[in-house]
Amino acid sequence: MRAFIRKYANLSALGRMECTFHRLHPTWPITDPQLTYRFQWVKCQLDALCTLITDKSIRTALKQLPNGLDETYVRAFTKIRKDIGDDATMIKRVFWWLIHSLRPLTLHELSEAIAIEIGQTHMDFSAVPTDPEDLINLCGGLITISGHEQETVHLSHFSVKEFLLSPRIKETQVAEFFAGPSTVRDIAATSLKGPISNSDTKNTHSSTTLHTLGLNTTSLFPMTQLE
């Protein structure tokens, strides 16, 4: 059963289902919101099933499938929080930056941005993820990398952003992932302190400043003008 599910998932369920619907309904736009929500729900279930290691656990999961994307995302973020432990705050920042940055970020830019603390004036590279690729795996399939000339990080589906910005999340057990105005304020607080210098000249990464990451705090979010 595990081999079948993994083989099925590797064929890209979302793309395969879109092709099937297009053949059956050639005039039905694939961009229809309800269809894309359903495709995303199926993809999330396949991603979750592929992490299970026994047929018994897969059968149990199939009997307890979540109702809708909100419940799916609650489960996903609950698992992320459980798996990450002490680094949960850093993973929250991954989603906050992907939502509020005005331009796509590379994986290295994102990994440096989430390591910056409010009021910090020097880049502490010991706080940067040792392997930025780990962020992709730790975020439970909710972020992805794409691009041709330059690969950048994105949320896997627009509904992830909708969920994290919606007041609905504040009524769940993963309310700490809420990406509303307060998170923009936290990010902007560091940005408004000025450039961050590189205190570790031996580090091979280039020093990242929040200004270069494209967070337009003054024009989009006037409330973040703290000084």
Residue 16's pLDDT band (cuts 50, 70, 90): very low
Could you give the CA distance from residue 179 to residue 26 in angstroms, rounded to a whole number? 38
Nearest CA to 135 among 174, 101, 94? 94
Residue 79 class from Cβ within 10 Å (0-12 exposed, 13-18 middle, 19+ buried)? middle
C-beta atoms surrounding 131 within 10 Å: 8
Rounded to 5°, the CA angle 91-133-154 comes to: 65
Residue 56 has pLDDT above 60, yes or no: yes
Residue 209 has pLDDT above 60, yes or no: no
Higher pLDDT, 160 or 203: 160
pLDDT for 32 equals 62
What is the pLDDT averaged over residues 26-46? 74
What is the pLDDT averaged over residues 163-176? 95
Residue 4's pLDDT band (cuts 50, 70, 90): low
Could you give the CA distance from residue 134 to residue 107 in angstroms, rounded to a whole number? 10
Residue 153 has pLDDT above 90, yes or no: yes
The token duo for 182 is 């307060």
Q: In whole numbers, what is the pLDDT of the chain averaged over residues?
A: 75
Q: What ranges do the domains of the chain cover?
A: 2-65, 85-224
Count of residues in the chain? 227
Could you give the CA distance from residue 150 to residue 133 in angstroms, rounded to a whole number? 15
pLDDT for 116 equals 82
Residue 148's pLDDT band (cuts 50, 70, 90): confident
Could you give the CA distance from residue 110 to residue 30 in angstroms, rounded to a whole number? 31
- Does pTM top 0.95 for this prediction? no
Q: Which amino acid type is present at position 79?
A: K
Residue pair 192/217 in contact by the 8 Å Cβ criterion: yes
pLDDT for 63 equals 93
Q: Which residue has the tokens 């993973």?
A: 91
For CA atoms 55, 59, 60, 64, give the dihedral sign.
positive
Higher pLDDT, 39 or 214: 39
pLDDT digits (tens, 9 = 90+) for 58-98: 999 999 999 999 999 999 999 999 988 878 888 999 999 99
What is the pLDDT averaged over residues 176-184? 87
> Hey, is 105 helix, strand or coil?
strand
43: Cα within 13 Å, side-chain hemisphere: 22
Residue 105 class from Cβ within 10 Å (0-12 exposed, 13-18 middle, 19+ buried)? buried
pLDDT for 126 equals 86
